[in-house]
Amino acid sequence: MSDYSALDEAAARKYLPAPAERKAIRKASGLSLRSVAAHCGVSAQGVCDWENEDLNRLPHGEPLLLYVELLASLVRLADAEGS
């Protein structure tokens, strides 16, 4: 049984940035596709698909939650560094 619910997933989807923004956030942070993939428990190709609007391969479940959390953390970090 997973630690996330359908409600968690719906909330995460609401905060998932647009694909181009996802890619920009990752690149600005200096993270590789491979490192993001390892964090989310998916393949680098999966992350690449998420960043390139492959509607058949959108994140879901625990990888979605981890991905949204990571992107939000990277944005906060960038904002803190810019202050």
In CATH, the architecture of 6-78 is: Orthogonal Bundle (1.10)
* DSSP sequence for 56-68: GG---HHHHHHHH
Q: Which of 49, 45, 47, 77 is CA-nearest to residue 63?
A: 47
Cα–Cα distance between 67 and 19 in angstroms, integer?
Answer: 12
17-40: average pLDDT: 96
Report pTM: 0.87
Predicted confidence (pLDDT) at residue 34 exceeds the cutoff of 70: yes
Cα–Cα distance between 76 and 45 in angstroms, integer?
Answer: 26
Predicted confidence (pLDDT) at residue 73 exceeds the cutoff of 70: yes
Give the domain ranges of the chain. Answer: 6-78
Percent of the chain with pLDDT over 70: 90
Q: Which two tokens stand for residue 29?
A: 């942070």
Predicted confidence (pLDDT) at residue 4 exceeds the cutoff of 90: no
